[in-house]
Amino acid sequence: MGNKVDVKNRSVDPAAQQVLLYARDLGAVTAWDRHDAMQPLCGFGELGVCCHLCYMGPCRIDPFGEGAQVGICGASADLIVARNLARAVASGAAAHSDHGREVVGVLREASAGGSSGYRVVNPTRLLALAAEWGIPASGRSVNDIAGDLARAMTAEFGRQEGSLTPALRAPEGQRRRWDALGITPRGIDREIVDLLHRAHHGVESDPIALLRAAMRTALADGWGGSMIATDVQDVLFGGPTAIRSRANLGVLQERQVNLLVHGHEPALSEMLVRASRDADLLALAREAGAEGINIAGICCTANEVLMRQGMPVAGNYLHQELALLTGAVDLMVVDVQCVMPSLPTIASCHHTSVVSTSAHAHVPGAEHIEFEPHRAKDVARQIVRRAVEAFTRRDPSRVRIPRESADLVAGFTNENLPQYLGGRFRSGYRPLIDAVAAGRVRGVVAVVGCNTLKVAQDRHHLALVRRLIAEDVLVVQTGCSAIASAKAGLLRPEAALEHAGPGLREVCEAVGIPPVLHVGSCVDNSRILSVCVALVAEGGIGADISELPIAAAAPEAMSEKAIAIGLYAVASGVFTAFLPVPRVGGSRVVREYLEGTVERETGGRFLFTEDVEEAVQGILAHLDRKRTALKLAPMLHEGGVPVDAGAASRSLVDYETPRGLEGLGCGKAQARSQARAPRD
């Protein structure tokens, strides 16, 4: 007999809902269960007023004004909140930027020739970067140029004085603001160390000075570490072009070896894609009874191999455990960032292997096969062989692959958008600028970032994106937010007909693009900065980033990286809606600065809110203010189109417990796996 289970508060994705119900039958404990078990969350922590910086505490400030109003050292709530936020920015910037450093290392390896399997795939981009970085190119080989560029970029991380080289791409007006404020970013390592020093106990006691220093570090991420990561990846693996694929758990294949890549760096996953096409490994898979080798991705590694190879996407952040619970994944390979330490425990519900590969990230309970660029192909082949072995242990009777998967188009970049927007004869941003100026397109909004367990998975992403495109806003996306839209079918050109306001629909139809453009992983937010630079350079809708009718939003922000991204957007002059409210609620001073005063200094500001409609209204009002200031034409079509509320109503599902699974449970297996930790 079917039993109705309401999972609407966990995810709006029907595929996720099905697997969550299967998880219950398996007795598996997921992130949602752990989140429930953690309730109520610490109120002091949520407000950001808990300080554990020194070892006299931990201290916490009473938000009701009755208990302690300063920490043992005398730090106020304002300072504690600012310090906690600053440390989050340092950590987030470090993660993105170290990713950048890793790929620069791969470029150095590629430039040496040898047997690593890497080489410069995009010499045009290499030459453009060489010119920017002052590397002589005339009469030199590609490898010599690449080697010098890699060395220059490596050194840039430690630059002590002057501006980061890629930050010089920012419009002049913005750079003048940074100079005036003393936040022009120097070397990435320099800024992170500087910020961590200031945020140490007993150093910077002025919360506003600390927030400005945090902006400097965030800028070193956005216009430095992240930008370098994107640039070098395009050199090594090719600049993306528009590409079709599919997204959601339905991309898992019942009759193939399913190898999932999860994490952030494309170096290994690109190699895995190549290895999965090797004739001998395909033969091995066939011998094992599989019809092929299916590589799909989770999180930003998924976005990387989607953008360049069209590999299917299994899901975003909160899909990582669900994918394993389907019983169809033979092996999941992880590198760095956003990898839940629970994965080996979840994998123990089935036959699935988890392999960690980064020297930075060991996962207790997973097998560790270290990725080193000089033997990348060997490592990739070894992992594919492991996946085939695991396939032979798969139990088909336990496999439950949801049917859901949606078509998508991805692969848009600042480099190729001018062609897609303008065609061969009118390549450039002029058609988009004209559409904005004429009132067909209200503006451009970047919707980015994670999933969080504080919101039903994808609910805010989809609500915000649907509302914006209905109001004639062109949306560009990265990260897990882009995957949310992909799963919901919003990255298809047809989505313009179904969801876009009349002006945006006209533009999308004329040039054949979706109303929501997938521009890559989270480090590729740097591509969005580059689009802003190009719009300013082309002229007509603003002489500085802060004058453009643009905005950003992180509707389900979860990680410290999201804080760093939000802050570099604001420091770059962008109005940024950030949900849920990060840990700033305990300080009026911090909120007033980040949501108000900072706009006079950088041209951008935050809107912190828990309410997605408030974010929509804030963004639209901001776009309209910018349009008015620029004296652009009124919007041709006011009011937008009604939004499909179907997602929420679909979340109540009929579910039949699969026969033979009653009381099966993998709770015991999970407990055993936990007991094995930290290392077998």
Chain residues in the site for ligand NFS (CB under 6 A): 264, 299-300, 317, 338, 449-450, 479-480, 521-522, 558-559, 561-562
Residue 675 burial (C-beta neighbours within 10 Å; 0-12, 13-18, 19+)? exposed
Give min distance, CB of 612 to ligand NFS, in A: 17
Distance of alpha carbon 357 from the chain centroid = 20
Give min distance, CB of 188 to ligand NFS, in A: 17
SS3 content of the chain, % helix, strand, coil (to 5): 50, 10, 40
Largest CA distance in the chain: 75
Q: Which helix (H) or strand (E) holds 260?
A: strand 257-263
Q: 525-541 in b/e burial notation, b at 16+ Cβ within 10 A? A: bbbbbbbbbbbbeeeeb
Give min distance, CB of 151 to ligand NFS, in A: 27
Q: How many CB atoms lie within 10 A of CB 369?
A: 16
Give min distance, CB of 453 to ligand NFS, in A: 11
* 243-247/406-410 β-pairing: antiparallel
Find, among 609, 617, 607, the residue nearest to 581 by Cα.
609
Closest to ligand NFS by CB, 521 vs 673, is 521
Give min distance, CB of 520 to ligand NFS, in A: 10
- Structural Rg of the chain based on CA atoms: 24
Give min distance, CB of 591 to ligand NFS, in A: 23
Closest to ligand NFS by CB, 290 vs 574, is 574
The Cα–Cα gap between 325 and 329 comes to 8
Closest to ligand NFS by CB, 44 vs 237, is 237
DSSP string of 435-460? HHHTTSS-EEEEE-----TTS-BTHH
The Cα–Cα gap between 536 and 544 comes to 6
Give min distance, CB of 641 to ligand NFS, in A: 28
Find, among 120, 141, 118, the residue nearest to 239 by Cα.
120
Closest to ligand NFS by CB, 256 vs 521, is 521
Work out whether the CA dihedral 313, 316, 319, 321 comes out positive or negative: positive
Closest to ligand NFS by CB, 480 vs 550, is 480
Closest to ligand NFS by CB, 327 vs 555, is 555
Amino acid at 672: R
Print the SS3 string covering 264-310: CCHHHHHHHHHHCCCHHHHHHHHHCCCCCEEEEEEHHHHHHHHHHHC
Give min distance, CB of 92 to ligand NFS, in A: 8
Closest to ligand NFS by CB, 298 vs 500, is 298
Closest to ligand NFS by CB, 507 vs 522, is 522
Closest to ligand NFS by CB, 61 vs 214, is 214
Print the SS3 string covering 552-591: EEECCCCCHHHHHHHHHHHHCCCEEEECCCCCCCCCHHHH
CA distances from 284 to 256, 351, 411, 542 (A): 12, 19, 32, 58
The Cα–Cα gap between 444 and 517 comes to 11
Give min distance, CB of 335 to ligand NFS, in A: 11
Give min distance, CB of 478 to ligand NFS, in A: 7
- With CB atoms as reference, the residue minimizing the distance to ligand NFS is 450
Closest to ligand NFS by CB, 334 vs 433, is 334
The Cα–Cα gap between 98 and 523 comes to 11
Closest to ligand NFS by CB, 414 vs 521, is 521
Phi/psi at 85 (5° precision)? -65, -45
Q: Are 443 and 568 spatial neighbours (Cβ–Cβ below 8 Å)?
A: no
Closest to ligand NFS by CB, 293 vs 324, is 324
Closest to ligand NFS by CB, 210 vs 528, is 528
Give min distance, CB of 363 to ligand NFS, in A: 16
The Cα–Cα gap between 504 and 506 comes to 5
DSSP string of 171-198? -HHHHHHHHHHT-----HHHHHHHHHHH
Closest to ligand NFS by CB, 508 vs 577, is 577
Strands (E), 292-416: 293-298, 313-315, 331-334, 353-356, 367-368, 406-410
Give min distance, CB of 489 to ligand NFS, in A: 20
